């Protein structure tokens, strides 16, 4: 059986080194690293709605078995839109890595917690701990595929 590529959303404030962590995870697992902030900057006007940005993200995911998406959703509407997009592409996230900072987690984190795909880490956590969580999420996906 071919190995699975992880599908990970990385959430948290920029002071939690979200972008750098997402980049390292993507390199470790050899999957594309998509920065929503870069997509917005490169493909949308500052006042653009979510839909054009999601279309660009979707285009980048079409041929990829796995991904690490950085700066993933900040509002419930964005979380639902991203989930809907990923589900429509048949590539739902295995895990949401929340890099905690001093800000309160808010409703978006509760959304992912309720879905059972959330793992939270403090800034400074070793990459190995996050990689281990991603690997556990992959095992869970593999188990769900065998026992639907």
In-domain check, residue 89? yes
pLDDT band per the 50, 70, 90 thresholds, residue 14: low
d(CA 106, CA 78): 13
CATH number where 33 lies: 3.40.50.300
Q: For residue 113, with 0-12 CB atoms within 10 Å meaning exposed, 13-18 middle and 19 or more buried, which class applies?
A: middle
What is the total residue count of the chain? 148
pLDDT band per the 50, 70, 90 thresholds, residue 1: very low
pTM beyond 0.85: no
What is the domain extent for residue 35? Answer: 7-146
3-state secondary structure of 113: helix
Q: Which residue has the higher pLDDT, 44 or 111?
A: 111
| DSSP structure class, residue 3 | P
| DSSP structure class, residue 142 | H
- Asked if 48 and 126 count as a contact pair (C-beta separation under 8 A), the reply is no
pLDDT digits (tens, 9 = 90+) for 44-80: 444 445 556 666 667 777 677 899 988 656 677 777 7
Number of domains forming the structure of the chain = 1
pLDDT at 103 > cutoff 60: no
In-domain check, residue 126? yes
Q: Mean of the pLDDT values across residues 88-98?
A: 82
Q: Which residue has the higher pLDDT, 16 or 86?
A: 86
């Amino acid at each position: 059986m071919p190995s699975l590529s992880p599908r990970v959303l990385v959430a948290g404030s920029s002071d939690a080194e979200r972008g750098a962590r997402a980049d390292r995870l993507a390199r470790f697992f050899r999957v594309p690293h998509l920065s929503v902030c870069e997509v917005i900057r490169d493909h949308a006007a500052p006042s653009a709605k979510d839909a054009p940005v999601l279309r660009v993200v979707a285009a980048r995911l079409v041929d990829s078995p796995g991904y690490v998406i950085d700066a993933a959703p900040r509002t419930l509407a964005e979380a639902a839109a991203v989930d809907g997009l990923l589900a429509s592409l048949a590539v739902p996230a295995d895990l949401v890595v929340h890099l905690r900072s001093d800000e309160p987690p808010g409703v978006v984190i509760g959304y992912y917690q309720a879905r059972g795909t959330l793992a939270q880490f403090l800034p400074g956590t070793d990459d190995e701990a996050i990689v281990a969580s991603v690997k556990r999420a992959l095992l869970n996906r593999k188990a769900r595929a065998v026992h639907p």
